[in-house]
Structure 1
């Protein structure tokens, strides 16, 4: 019996989450959600990613509140990305992005790739 119990434990997959958002003002609620899921999942909590796309990226240059939230997200282990296509569309460059905010070339593709990896995804 101990063998089957150990086998079941090793097969448990961690819960992974991703949010595709078009509004950086949702970040505080997203971070609260990540914390709640981590507490709820316990040892089964795996990873939490956020991808920001669209016009909202125009609001990130010199946005001190967003920069502070990025630091909070990093402490929580939440990975946040900016969509490269959106940056290009709104004439923003890498220097307009706060330090520590990685750029994914295509945010929508990134979200689909996460789904293929078993992430539960939400678009808001």
Structure 2
């Protein structure tokens, strides 16, 4: 009887270790950055590119949320083009805070079409953090 319990326990331990190893192989590292300054998009995108190389197949989602008064600069399509193009190549999603757009009178139709508008950038950031995203605010 003791042998059966010992074998059963060993089997459970082996199965649990294998399950944890498999789980780790499929986990992704997801990132979100909340920024209040458009020029910071350049170093943020460089960081995303480096993390993509470093993480390899563990690299998941990378989102950048632009909030605050700086959303006024999002309508400068020529300046934003260099950021949206690089973000697309790096697999980075650029978001604009809808609350900030309203507060500072920015027409959502005038921001780059590559950018998604989230209703409340700060809330959206917290929601991603609750899902396990690594987060930083700049």
Give TM-score, length-normalised by structure 2. 0.82
Query: What residue number does 1:59 align with?
Result: 73
| Cα offset, 1:7, TM superposition | 2.5
Q: 2:54 aligns with which of 7, 15, 40?
A: 40
Structure 1: runs of 5+ lacking an equivalent: none
Q: Take 1:22 and 1:60, find their aligned partners in 2: how far apart are those partners?
A: 11
Query: What residue number does 1:81 align with?
Result: 95
Q: 1:7 aligns with which of 19, 43, 49?
A: 19
Looking at both structures, which has the greater relative contact order when contacts are Cα pairs under 8 Å and sequence separation is at least 6? 1
Q: Take 1:25 and 1:59, find their aligned partners in 2: how far apart are those partners?
A: 10
CA deviation map 1:81-108 (0-9, x unaligned)? 0000000001011112111111000000
The count of residues paired between Structure 1 and Structure 2 equals 124
CA deviation map 1:52-93 (0-9, x unaligned)? 000111112134121221121012110110000000001011
**Which one has the largest radius of gyration?**
2
SS of 2:75's partner is coil
2:44 is the alignment partner of 1:30: yes
SS of 1:60's partner is helix
Q: Which has the higher helix share?
A: 2
After the TM superposition, list the runs of 4 or more consecutive aligned residues in structure 1 that deviate by more than 2 angstroms: 2-10
Q: Take 1:5 and 1:65, find their aligned partners in 2: how far apart are those partners?
A: 50
